[in-house]
Every structure is written in C-alpha cells, then in structure tokens.
Structure 1
Amino acid sequence: MKKLLSIASAIAISCSSLIAQAAEEVNVYSYRQPFLIEPMLKEFEDQTGVKVNVVFAKKGLEERIEREGKFSPADVVLTSDMISLFDLVDRKLVQPVSSNEINDNIPVHLRDPNNQWYSLTMRVRNIYSSKRSDKPVDINYEDLASAQYQGKICTRSGKHPYNIGLVASMIAHKGEAETKKWLEGVKANLARRPQGNDRAQVKAIKEGVCDVSLGNSYYFGKMLQNEDQKAWADAVYINFPNQSTEGSHVNISGMVMAKYAPNKDNALKLMEYLSSEKAQSIYARDNMEYPVNPKVPVSDTVAAWGKFKADPLPISDIAANRTKAQRLLDEVKFDL
C-alpha cells in the first residue's frame, strides 16, 4: 500500500509539473504583421521559456475581444497605430499595468499616465518627393494644399489610421476649421483617388503618376531592402516635414494588457521585455522604426536619413481628436 501511495504521489507531482509547464504561455492578439514581430517573440521564448501564441489580424480584434468577453484568451494586444490603441481603451478592453520597469523604459509622453497603454515604436509620417525635381529645402504638411502641388499628390485612403492620426494632429495644432480647409486643398491636389498602401504611393511616383506622397518612415527602409521595390525607393527623397515649425508628426505602434488576461504574469513579462533594450534594438535593426526606449539607437539605415525634430505633442492629445478627424474626412469626401 505504501508503495502504491508513493507511486501515486510521484504521478501527481509529475502531472502537476506538466500542468505548470503547460501554463507557461502567453496569448497575443496582433495587428502588427508577423514578419515585424516574430523576431522579438522568438527571442522572448528563448529567453524565458514562455510559449507565445499569436493571432494575427488586419482588423476586427476589438470586436473579437468583445464577443469573447471574460472568456477571451487574449493576454496582450499589439497595435500598429494609435487609433486602434485608443479604441481598445475606449471600449474598456484593457487593464492597467503596474511596472516600474516599463515606466523606466518608455518616456512619459509615449505612455498613458494611468498605465493603460504604452507605445512600442515610433514612425514619422514623411512626405516623399520625386527625384525628378530637387529635394525640397523645407516642406510642410500645410504645403500639400497649395497650388504648386495641384494634380501631383498620391496617398492611401484618408480613413486609414495613419492618415487619421495626421489629420488629428493637424486639428490639435490648427483647429477644425483650418484643418477642414487644408483637407479640401489636399483633396483638390490629388493626382488620383486615394488607393493602395504607403509603398504603392512611392511606386506611383516612380511611374510618374504623381510627384509627392505621404508615407511612414519605416516603409522607406523596407523598400530599400526589397529587390523588387528598391527602384521605387531610389526614385524618391524622404523628407521630414515642418522642421521650422512644430516638427514632424510621429505615430506609434503600441501594446496593452487585455482586460481578462488569463496569463497575467506572463503578459507582464512580455510587455516588460518588449520595452527592453534587447527587444527595442531588434525593432530598430530589423524593422527600421524609431525605438521608444531612449537608450536604444536607431539603425544605421535610419540614421542615414538624418536627424529630425519630432512634434512634441503628447500622443494622448493627438488621439483625442481622432473622431473629429474621421468626421472631417467624411465631410470633405476625401476618398471619393
């Protein structure tokens, strides 16, 4: 009997150990594309032994988490822009995080004062211009509404989060009335209806469809690394707008802890890791984004584009105008 009890005890301990090992996981819902974040997640797994399960999506994660309710497996949600980040907060799908480590790694203006959201990387909303003309000595977002660019501008949908963020920043600086007038001017200067992604606009410049376009900074680096797209990047200048005024608009990717995170401890480990110098260095090296951790330098490729002045307006102040931005884009029928 004692032998049987001993065997039973050993089996129980073994089972408990297996259950504990199985529990060492974290579930990520991500708007960020796989190739952008998989290097960081693999490094995290190797470093901690915590398995990372990822659901990738282009849209609809907020609605999915709402449907799943308290049974949602989501632990951490990664967004590719500020609009999705604040949408999660507004829908009350997040919980505050208590971490001195994260707060030490991420500057105050790039995180929520209530610890509900954090920036992970920064990207500039650049203006690309054709090398068929001289590189602009100075160019501002406001210039895109001027007569000199009539029929010369390409852009993706105005309702895309990257452009909504830019319009929201314009509202924060200029007010609604002036921003609406600016949008009407930009729309009048379009060479074609808004379409495609940021890279497609640079391709259009290469093909002579337009002379200038809006695009995020890291896409320039990605095109330079792509054998089929390098010719597009080689055909344009990357310009940092508003250097003599408030500075270039900077959008962010970000992270939150899901409201019902079943693996809260591992979620915190992952969030702390993503803010660390190690992960931020991978972001900078592989994705050519600007790290939010001030201890981490940009990649050599990004450094070659030159230093620039970023708009110091807090992300929360810009995001507060996102609904107004969407309304103005509808009012001017920007995409039509």
Structure 2
Amino acid sequence: MRRTALAAGLTVVSVVASGCGIFSDDEPADLQVYTARHYDLEKAFDEFTEETGITVEFLDGDDAELLERLKKEGEDSPADIFMTVDAGNLWNAADQGQFQALTSPALDAAVPEDLRDPDGQWYGLAMRARTVVYNPEKVDPAEIDTTDSYAALGDPKWRGRVCMRDATASYTQSLVASLIDLHGRERALEIVESWVANDVQIMSNDIELLDAIDAGACDIGISNHYYVGRQLEDDPDYKVKVFWASQDGDGTHVNISGAGVTTNSDNAEDAQKLLEWLATDGQSHFVDGNFEFPVNPQVAPMELLAGWGEFKRMPVDAKAYGSLNADAVALLGEADYE
C-alpha cells in the first residue's frame, strides 16, 4: 500500500480492527478512504470489518481539498475510495479522471439509475432531501405551494419570513443549478431574485436556520431533511416540520452522498466490496446515524423518517449539478444573494 505525508488541515481517523494506525506503515489497513462525509463512519466501517475481515482507515476533509489532493498525489495516492457529499462533486471527480469504472451487478441492482454514474464510476449511497421546513405555530401547511414550492417562497406573502442558506453552501449551489437545469437561466434568476426581494434571511448553516424557525425568528425556509431529524431526536418538541416540496410538480430536490473507487487504487477488489456492502447489507449502518434516506429501495428508512410519509423526488442530474455549478454561483451573485 502506498503512503504519503498528510496535508495540513485534514483530519485522519483510523478504523482498524487491531487498533490505531493513522495511515501508518505499521500494519496498514486494507483500504484507505478519502471522505468529505464524516457522519458515523466509524460504526459503519467497524461493521464492515467485522463481517468481512477487511480493515478500513479514512481521511476526513473538504470535497475540493481532497479532490485536489488526489490529483496531486496521482499514482502515489494511498486512497482506494473517494467519498463526497454532493452529486456535482461526484460528477466533477469522474470528469477529472479520478474514478475507475466498475462492473457490479450488486451495485446496479441496489442503486437507482439516476443515483449512479452510467459508466459505473461512482454510486450514490445516501439521499438527503433539500426541502421546505416550517414552524407549525406560524405556518399552515395549506399555505405552502405544492407545484413549485421553491419558487413560491418568492411570493410577497412570505416577505420577511424566509430563512435560507448562504450562497457559498454546496447545497444552495446544487439547488440553484437544478433550477437552471429545470427552468433555464432566466427563470432561475427570477426565482432567486424573488427570494432576495422577500428580504430572505441568510444563515451560515442549516442548524442555525432551523433554530431560527424554532425560535420564531423566521417562519419558513429550505433545509436538508436530516438536520430536522437530528434536532427532533434531541428535542421532540422542536417546532420545525418538514414539507415535501413540489409534490404536484417536479418533486423534492434530492442530493446524494456517494463514492467511487479511485483510479490509482491498488486494492480495487476490496474497495468494490466495501461500496457493495454500503449499498446493501450496510445501508442502514451507513445512513441511519445521520437520519438520511437509503438509496436502496429495498431498505426501509428509520422510523422517524418513515413517519414523515413517502414523497416524489426530483430526479438527480449529477452532470447538471456539477457542470452548472459555476453558472449557479454567478447567478447567485447577479441576484445579490449572499
């Protein structure tokens, strides 16, 4: 297994059955994972090791930072798997030649077609819905538009009542990229400008946004669903509810956390086994700790999520999320959305 020095600013966590060994040359793990996802990975990887005997270490960092690291390391990279938290990032990594194509009937059967690369370079492993959230003491759900719930937050009736994430968030950028893809740039710009005209309150993270809604500082907003699940687990009286957006239209915007086997992996066989396990027997271990939805339709979501009811999701277009990201960023700037 190749080894390189660790870059500053990255966190390395070892999940090796025999104990610690942070990318060391002393009894190295069988698999090395570069991941921008850090939700309860220890539990999932420990379960995988227990079932298969294949040991795993992972290095935690920012998507863009880890991708640049992979590219710079080239053939000397120790990484066997690159895991990201946005479909656009998966597409981008594949477009830059960082994944190898897999042939896996197990993954093809477990992961819906729009949640995986058509050439088998990457696979979605967990779904997160970016949808409308609201304070039930301030908003009657009958008030919320069901055809295009995202655009409708620009209706003047919501003026001064809306909270959203900042323009630098990948979730915001992917949502806007999907609006460009669905409606064209001109209409997408009109939608974002209508949010700005409604004096949207911009929050630096989804927890801050949800806490503002819970406290009555704003009434409605857009958030990833799993943050609501986390908050409700800690406080069942938390005053935020999920509304599945655009159920009479294009469906609720969904993004994915996913992964692929790196081009320069020297243990691609075991790396593929890990991806297959995460998409099948390990799905619940991978998604439940973060209140995410399984990508595998044969795996039931955890009880809290199931209680919110089924929803129609917007098809995921990873190429659009990735290739239109720069356009989305420019559009947000043009609309003075900060």
Give TM-score, length-normalised by structure 2: 0.86
Tell whether the 8 Å contact from 1:151 to 1:188 is kept in structure 2 after alignment. Answer: no
User: Cα distance, 1:178 vs. partner?
Assistant: 0.5
RMSD, aligned α-carbons? 1.9
The alignment status of 1:150 with 2:150, answered yes or no, reads no
User: Cα distance, 1:281 vs. partner?
Assistant: 2.0
The alignment status of 1:259 with 2:263, answered yes or no, reads yes
Letter of the aligned partner of 2:195 in structure 1?
A: V
Distance 1:153 1:52 in 2: 43
Q: Report the CA distance shift for 1:320/1:274 in structure 2 as closer, same or farther (over 3 A).
A: same
Distance 1:326 1:131 in 2: 32
Tell whether the 8 Å contact from 1:26 to 1:52 is kept in structure 2 after alignment. Answer: yes
The alignment status of 1:75 with 2:80, answered yes or no, reads yes
Q: Report the CA distance shift for 1:23/1:269 in structure 2 as closer, same or farther (over 3 A).
A: farther
Aligned to 2:59: 55
Q: Report the CA distance shift for 1:87/1:247 in structure 2 as closer, same or farther (over 3 A).
A: same
Match of 2:174 among 149, 165, 170: 165
Letter of the aligned partner of 1:50 in structure 2?
A: I
User: Cα distance, 1:23 vs. partner?
Assistant: 6.8
Q: Which stretch of structure 1 is more off in the superposition, 118-127 or 319-328?
A: 319-328
Distance 1:114 1:271 in 2: 15
1:29-71 Cα offsets, whole Å, 9 max, x none, are: 11111x4322211111111111101101134101111121110
User: Structure 1 vs Structure 2: percent identity of aligned residues?
Assistant: 32
1:302-332 Cα offsets, whole Å, 9 max, x none, are: 0111121111354444544333212211222
Distance 2:156 2:227 in 1: 28
1:171-213 Cα offsets, whole Å, 9 max, x none, are: 1211100001111111222343x23211110111122321112
Aligned to 1:99: 104
Letter of the aligned partner of 2:265 in structure 1?
A: A
Structure 1: 5+ residue stretches without partners: 1-20
Match of 2:310 among 307, 312, 330: 307
Superposition pairs for residues 1-336 of structure 1, below 5 Å?
22=27, 25-33=30-38, 35-59=39-63, 60-137=65-142, 138-139=144-145, 140-192=149-201, 194-226=202-234, 234-276=238-280, 278-312=281-315, 314-335=317-338
Distance 1:38 1:190 in 2: 42
Distance 1:65 1:104 in 2: 29
Distance 2:72 2:286 in 1: 32
Structure 2: 5+ residue stretches without partners: 1-25
Give TM-score, length-normalised by structure 1: 0.86
Q: Report the CA distance shift for 1:196/1:318 in structure 2 as closer, same or farther (over 3 A).
A: closer
Tell whether the 8 Å contact from 1:112 to 1:316 is kept in structure 2 after alignment. Answer: no
Tell whether the 8 Å contact from 1:288 to 1:302 is kept in structure 2 after alignment. Answer: yes
Aligned to 1:9: none
Aligned to 2:12: none
Q: How many positions carry a matched residue from both structures?
A: 308
Higher helix share: 1
Letter of the aligned partner of 1:44 in structure 2?
A: F
Q: Which stretch of structure 1 is more off in the superposition, 114-123 or 84-93?
A: 84-93
Letter of the aligned partner of 1:248 in structure 2?
A: T
Tell whether the 8 Å contact from 2:131 to 2:223 is kept in structure 1 after alignment. Answer: yes
Distance 1:136 1:235 in 2: 14
Distance 2:200 2:183 in 1: 25
1:242-282 Cα offsets, whole Å, 9 max, x none, are: 11111111111110111111221221111111111x21122
**Based on CA coordinates, which of the two structures has the bigger radius of gyration?**
1
